[in-house]
Structure 1
Amino acid sequence: MFPSRQSKDEPHLLDEERRLCYVGMTRAMNTLTLSYASKRFIHGHSFYSMPSRFLDEIPRSFLNYIENPNNESKTTSYKNTDTFSKKMVSSKNSSIYSIGQVVKHAKFGLGTVVNCEGSGDSMRLQIKFQKVGTKWLISSYANLES
């Protein structure tokens, strides 16, 4: 599972995971199947996530998208945010955020909500920003524009 939660804020750990991912991919003899889970249960809690940023580093000419074999969704691209559950979260200022929603932060720019934890004043949003990567922000202090 790449990248792991432990390396999200540690660039040197992320580089090591990228290297391990590359080594694993190059071991495939004929075919390599990559997949992701948009929702996982860990220690009794559900977490929503985006596909690994490592997938963005694979040249498109090497990729062949296939549909979900269970036909639960008709997704043909891992970037399609409609595959994420639209879990709604509200902040202190009564703004509503949903997984997959594009938001704008004054310092970090445009980003996509990929996860949320907690509630009320302490609710945290995980946002994947286009220019600075993934950040955790407290929704009541983030002053996000939607």
Structure 2
Amino acid sequence: MTKRRTDGLAVLSRLKRHEIEAVAQQMAEVNRALGVIEAERQDLLNHINERGDPDAIESARVHSAFIRNVSETIHRKEAEAARLRESSAGVHQQLNGLFADAKRLEMISTSRAEQRKQRRNQLETAAQNEAFLAIWLQDRAAD
């Protein structure tokens, strides 16, 4: 196998590694965004629970509007989180595909290295056999 082919596999392996890192970074960003959404949602729910006395008549209308506004915000956040989860699933599949490609390249590289090693061993064995045969023939001719 030529040096160019080996170098080509190394280049492909490095490219796959860079692609995997880029997709993993995307997944981290999606997960971070989901964490932010969940934290905001939890803060809104806590804010509703900590709000003043809901039984006070003068605050009932304001409290009701506040709860409605927070509920709408929570629903928007949940819809955004669902969209991000769907996006995350696609990115996860892409990452799995890239890992499979990288593993395939690694297996090809390992297989080719093993083939080169076996070929080198065969050549060495053939050279040794030829040397031994030459020595044997010299010894026989000398007798």
Structure ranking higher in helix proportion: 2
**Structure number with bigger Rg:** 2
- TM > 0.5 between the two? no
In the superposition, the TM-score normalised over structure 1's length comes to 0.20
TM-score when normalising by structure 2: 0.20
